[in-house]
Amino acid sequence: MTPNRPRTNPQWLADLGDKETRAAALSDLREYLLRAVYLYLDRHRTDVSDLDRHEIRQMAEDFAQEALLQILAHLDTFRGEAKFTTWAYRFVINVAAGELRLHRWRTLSLEALADEHEIRGSIFLVDRGVPDLETRAAQERILSVLREIIEQDLTERQRIALVSIHFRGVPTNVVAERLGTTPNAVYKLVYDARQRLKRGLIERHYTEADIIAIFEE
User: What are the residue ranges spanned by the domains of the chain?
Assistant: 9-107, 110-215
Tell me, what amino acid is at 212? Answer: I
Per DSSP, helices labelled H in 117-215 are 121-124, 133-153, 156-162, 172-179, 183-203, 208-215
Hey, do 9-107 and 110-215 end up sharing a CATH topology, with the first three levels equal?
no
Burial class (CB in 10 A: 0-12, 13-18, 19+), 70: middle
pLDDT tens-digit readout, 158-191: 988 888 887 777 778 888 888 889 989 988 998 8
Has residue 83 got a pLDDT over 70? Answer: yes
Q: Is residue 65's pLDDT more than 80?
A: yes
Sequence-distant (≥ 6) Cβ neighbours of residue 148 within 8 angstroms: 200
Average pLDDT of the residues of the chain: 78
- Residue 69, Cα to own-chain centre: how many angstroms? 20
The pLDDT tens digits for 85-137 are: 999 999 988 888 877 776 655 555 555 555 545 554 434 444 445 456 777 77
User: Structure pTM?
Assistant: 0.49
Region of 75 (left: φ > 0; alpha: ψ -120 to 50; beta: rest) is alpha
Q: Say which CATH topology domain 9-107 has.
A: Rna Polymerase Sigma Factor; Chain: A (1.10.1740)
CATH class of 110-215: mainly alpha
